[in-house]
Amino acid sequence: MIETLILGFILLLIGLYAMLSQKNIIKIILGFSIADTGVHIIIVSLGYLKGRRAPILDSAVDIANSVKEVVDPIPSALVLTAIVIGLATTALMLVFAAELHKRKASFSIDDYKELKW
C-alpha cells in the first residue's frame, strides 16, 4: 500500500532528523524509536496485498486456494522479531544514558567531550 509506505518513510526521516539534530541523549533514543517504527511500517506495507486476509489458515480461509487469499507472511515474520529486538536495544540504550547521567548528572551530549573525535 503506497500510503503506508509514504507514512513509513516520513517516520524514518523524522527519526533520523531527531537523531542528528538533538543534543539530549533521551531525545536521540526517542528518535531511534521513531525511525525503528518507520522501518517496521515500510517492511509490512511492502508485503501487503489489497483485499487479502492475515496469513492464518483457519476455517475462515479456503485452505485449498490459500495462496490466493492471504498476504505475504515473510515481512510479518521479520517485523515480529524486529519489534522485540527494538525493545531490548532501546532498553540497553536507556541504561547507557542512565549510566552517563550518574557520572556527570547531565543528558546533553555537549558535556561528554571525550566521546568526540
Interacting residues toward another protein by CB under 8 A: 1-2, 5-6, 9, 12-13, 16-17, 20-21, 42, 46-47, 49-50, 54-58, 63, 66-67, 70, 72-74, 76-77, 80-81, 83-85, 87-89, 91-92, 94-96, 98-99, 101-102
- Nearest distance in Å: CB 102, another protein: 6
Contacts of 52 (CB under 8 A, 6+ apart): 69, 70, 71
User: Please, which residue, 96 or 108, has the CB nearer to another protein?
Assistant: 96
d(CA 105, CA 99): 10
- Nearest distance in Å: CB 21, another protein: 5
User: Please, which residue, 13 or 108, has the CB nearer to another protein?
Assistant: 13
- DSSP lists the bridge partners of residue 70 as 53
User: Smallest Cα–Cα separation from 45: which of 76, 15, 20, 17?
Assistant: 76
- Nearest distance in Å: CB 26, another protein: 13
- Nearest distance in Å: CB 108, another protein: 15
What is the dihedral sign for C-alpha 80, 82, 85, 86?
negative
Q: Does residue 25 contact residue 97 with C-beta atoms inside 8 Å?
A: yes
User: Please, which residue, 102 or 114, has the CB nearer to another protein?
Assistant: 102
d(CA 96, CA 35): 19
